[in-house]
Chains A and B, each alone.
Chain A
């Protein structure tokens, strides 16, 4: 899911920088003092998640955990994911440095969508919608990222539909696995620290 150096055109890279800058500034505003350790732990989880590889036939994919991050952090997922990606790019050369902001937006935006989606689903609490919404957020995190990656690649000549199909199909197993992981995380957090899940939406 990480787009390498030298693949994207300048206009896409600049758009990525602008969009990510917007997301990061919003995220930093919402990050208060007490949440910093939580953000650090989740950033570490995201950083390591890409090392967990899921074999699928001819290609390979890895865990992203952006659904879970978005669910818990909301807009703060932007700076968290940016930091995680920057470290991955610098230390493991996963993804390029010029494409850092595009990759950050591709992974952080679906995270924010998961945040709102989760709260939308849980207005009326019901055990099954709760678990399902956790699963859904995991799926949307990957699906959204896959679609955004396909859109990013359109300008490089890979026709959107074929690229989108390829990426989405390649990540279907990841979507399921992430959905399960997110649902499990949500259920256990609900037992131990429900306040992490029920923060009010600050606009």
Chain B
């Protein structure tokens, strides 16, 4: 049993090595903002997935809406094709595939923001300067206010969005609990195997 003890100790040491906790799966994250969908792809060791196919499907009827390729940063962004649940599928080499579902709410939110901030400030101010009646003066101020508020909110939520993506990425890594759980299952199977073999022997 001593060789097995040493193998087990070796395993534990390897698990605790900080660098040895990553391996083979391809991850895909997507979020919708302002009429566009931004996707980021990488292998679970952090390496970016470059030059790989991304396909966007309507999740309900499985119709292919558009395809593209990830750039050298592993990113691919596209304009939202329609206000439905979007299924984004990434196909990397060597048989790796993953998908991400964008909920209808998220897509609709991103589209909703377009109508307000689509008009850039100078444009809307130009247009409204032509109408100079008092009624429209308040409209001008309203739109300006709206624009500035949206800018400010976007500025504040960008770091929150980045943080959320970071947390999502961390959830994808195999945790120590999962590793110990897996080994526990193996030992359990071993116990069951020994029990049954023992019973049938006698």
Q: Which chain A residues have a beta carbon within 8 Å of chain B's beta carbons? A: 1-8, 31-33, 36-45, 47-48, 50-53, 55, 58-62, 83-84, 87-88, 91-94, 149, 152-153, 158, 163, 166-167, 170, 189, 192-193, 196
Contacts and interface: CB of A to CB of B under 8 A. Distances in A.
Given A33-B194, A33-B201, A48-B14, A4 B97 contact: yes
A193 B3 contact: yes
Given A7-B97, A55-B45, A40 B187 contact: yes
B100 interface: no
Interface string B188-202: 011001100110010
A48 B197 contact: no
Interface stretch (B16-24, B62-70, B111-119, B122-130): B16-24
B43 interface: yes
A63 to B, nearest CB: 8
B73 interface: no
Contact of B23 (A8, A33, A51, A149): A51
Nearest to A192: B3
Grouping DSSP codes into helix (H, G, I), strand (E, B) and loop, the B interface class, with mixed when no group exceeds half, is helix
Contact of B25 (A32, A83, A94, A166): A94
Contacts of B50: 58
Nearest to A99: B95
9 contacts: A2-B95, A4-B97, A32-B197, A36-B193, A47-B179, A48-B14, A51-B21, A91-B174, A196-B3
A4 B95 contact: yes
Interface of B: 1-4, 7-8, 11, 14-15, 20-26, 43, 45, 47, 50, 91, 93-99, 174, 178-179, 181-183, 185-187, 189-190, 193-194, 197-198, 201
A88 B185 CA distance: 11
Contacts of A52: 14, 20, 23
A39 B190 contact: yes
Contacts of B14: 48, 52
A5 B181 CA distance: 23
A59 B190 contact: no
Contacts of B45: 53, 55, 60
The 10 tightest CB contacts between A and B, nearest first, are A40-B190, A3-B95, A62-B23, A4-B97, A87-B182, A92-B174, A33-B197, A91-B178, A53-B23, A53-B22
Contacts of A92: 25, 174, 178
A58 B187 contact: no
Nearest to B48: A58
Given A48-B14, A92-B178, A192-B3, A60 B24 contact: yes
Given A36-B190, A43-B186, A44-B182, 17 more contacts: A1-B94, A2-B95, A3-B95, A4-B97, A4-B98, A7-B97, A33-B194, A36-B193, A36-B194, A47-B179, A47-B186, A48-B15, A51-B15, A51-B21, A52-B23, A62-B23, A193-B3
A88 B189 contact: no
Interface centre among A1, A36, A170 (most CB of B within 10 A): A36
Nearest to A47: B182
A192 B3 CA distance: 7
A36 B183 CA distance: 14
Interface centre among B94, B187, B189 (most CB of A within 10 A): B94
A2 B23 CA distance: 11
Contact of B24 (A1, A41, A83, A153): A1
Contacts of B99: 6
Contact of A44 (B3, B8, B91): B8
